[in-house]
Structure 1
């Protein structure tokens, strides 16, 4: 019997010989991961067996690349992947851990919650806690804070995290709240923003979140950015990044000039309404481009002009801006295409 297919999608993979990062289409089955150069390829360019393998997440060996996990095979080969946002990493890691557990026990894959490697009580679910912290009404408020001639946008203090955990009855006292907060930092849900918090996160053998008003942090998939005091023009340029992140992930995008297709990471923000896209293989924080979505039209399409059949097929959609610029994109699945279209339509109507 063929192994059951568990999950598929785009991930960025580090080269095994050269220090290069490339976007690949990955399919996770019960006994391994298959990697394809593109979604439409019929044969994989590589396969990672999971029997006897170990998983490391988060893998913090690559500087600014914060959403990395590593699979070490039974033959001591290391394969390093990077997700586009924290929830995506957690979904992949959860399913891979479960597959590894089932292989070790000689059982079939079955979905159920798994424990992380950090030493926290069994009742603690860090993914769920992270979602609550990001809630627009009851979560931690993201602020614009100034420190040492720099402006930190969409961030908060370590003391704020500890206070919130206690106020929401997630911890009984500050030491217990600090343990939870450090767990969120160690797993990559929270990121250090300033020098003080970075020293606490990377200075010791084990990451530590600082319970202080001068230690700054931000959500791993927030709209965080830091800027020095700048001109009015620079401030206006940054205005388009101030909206809340509504959705993010990798899509295949057609180029405007060469009409070739490349995997890009997209971040959808609501107010102002912008869709920014990035090269997921690079560490740069600046986007390759942006699409102003106010009054745009977005629809599912069956084909793309100037696209060769073997380049793309299925799950396509088109964005037409108010200036009549056409963008053609492909989602990983039909359900994901529906989600993107729905999210963009909502933002286009409500965002400025």
Structure 2
């Protein structure tokens, strides 16, 4: 069985079959179907969507107030809707589900297609390490504020800038080779297109989807990218606390302050200023339920939570104590994920304003 399990507590949302309400579920992609579970630890799925004869639609515009939605329509004309927590996750699911459907049609076993092979990247190239070097504040690719077509793009850069950097750092011998590397980064979700020109390049189906021209804009997937238009109808209002770069995002269990119950919340961690915002993952990222100012906070792993019912706690707990001594208790899916969150939040609390 091919499993595609996100490293967060939930990775897609599906509407309930009776009331058409949206619920958080854990999703697994197998050779011939999409299974969904109430919790990651459950041994039996709540249901399964067969992929034979299915059609996938992405992006799905059936819900005007929801983003990152894709639709899976079965051979029996039943529609199932999923909402990912962020863009890279949706694109990853869409690519692999489409691949699984194609494999079923051709009578071959499903296996994730290698971006590396499709663009002939050498095995010695580590795209994750390359991305870390590109994100280095001193020696990496410089993020800029660029103006194109009556819009201002913040925290972005051109495709040519990426190519120049790869050559200057001896990561590529020439521009065609640098474009292949940049395309690998784009296909794996490390880079994202910004603006019509770069998006058309991605949709064009060329071997190199990163364009080496001044009008093709891109941004880092975990940056604080946002776009502002000149028209009053298109202006993007960004509060000061949302202007920081996105350091980490994903879903965690959070204990409520009043009722002490646990609910899945999507968290987005930003620095400069140091904030972590949390959202109801069934309602998108437009309006946060709350925010935690992390400057001067203390973040530690804990083994138990006061006033918590034992069956509500699966472990992997950690606590954030803010500078005004407000306590927040959170649960991660795994110990590794807990350590990653603690490390990231601790760094932001020390360096962010």
Q: Normalising by the residue count of structure 2, what TM-score does the alignment of the two structures yield?
A: 0.70
Equivalent pair of 2:115/2:187 in contact (CA under 8 Å): no
Match of 1:11 in 2: 11
Change (3 A) 1:182 1:14: farther
CA distance in 2, matches of 1:201, 1:149: 22
Q: How far apart are residue 155 of structure 1 and its match?
A: 1.0
Change (3 A) 1:175 1:20: farther
- Aligned pair 1:24/2:25, yes or no? yes
Change (3 A) 1:13 1:91: closer
Match of 2:220 in 1: 219
- Aligned pair 1:342/2:331, yes or no? no
Change (3 A) 1:229 1:290: farther
SS in 2 for 1:347: helix
CA distance in 2, matches of 1:296, 1:221: 23
Unaligned runs of 5+ in 1: none
Equivalent pair of 1:247/1:343 in contact (CA under 8 Å): yes
Change (3 A) 1:300 1:244: same
Q: How far apart are residue 273 of structure 1 and its match?
A: 1.5
Q: How far apart are residue 37 of structure 1 and its match?
A: 1.7
Residue by residue over 1:280-307, the C-alpha shift from the partner in whole angstroms, topping out at 9 and shown as x without a partner, is 4455455443210011122333444454
Match of 2:312 in 1: 311
Q: How far apart are residue 65 of structure 1 and its match?
A: 5.8
Query: How many residues end up aligned between the 2 structures?
Result: 335
**Cα RMSD for the two superposed structures:** 4.9
Equivalent pair of 1:26/1:33 in contact (CA under 8 Å): yes
CA distance in 2, matches of 1:235, 1:71: 32
Change (3 A) 1:92 1:302: farther
Map 1:1-352 to 2 at 5 A. 9-14=9-14, 22-26=23-27, 35-39=36-40, 41=42, 43-47=44-48, 61-62=59-60, 82=84, 84=86, 86=88, 115-116=114-115, 119-123=118-122, 127-128=127-128, 129-202=130-203, 204=204, 208-228=209-229, 238-257=239-258, 259-285=260-286, 287-352=288-353
SS in 1 for 2:115: coil
Unaligned runs of 5+ in 2: none
Residue by residue over 1:244-289, the C-alpha shift from the partner in whole angstroms, topping out at 9 and shown as x without a partner, is 4333322112334554433222222232221122344455455443
Q: How far apart are residue 186 of structure 1 and its match?
A: 4.3
Q: How far apart are residue 136 of structure 1 and its match?
A: 3.2
CA distance in 1, matches of 2:256, 2:305: 12
Change (3 A) 1:81 1:296: same
Q: Normalising by the residue count of structure 1, what TM-score does the alignment of the two structures yield?
A: 0.70
Equivalent pair of 1:115/1:122 in contact (CA under 8 Å): no
Residue by residue over 1:109-151, the C-alpha shift from the partner in whole angstroms, topping out at 9 and shown as x without a partner, is 9xxx972387211416574343443333432122223345543
Equivalent pair of 1:85/1:248 in contact (CA under 8 Å): no
Residue by residue over 1:306-339, the C-alpha shift from the partner in whole angstroms, topping out at 9 and shown as x without a partner, is 5444433322222121223332211111232233
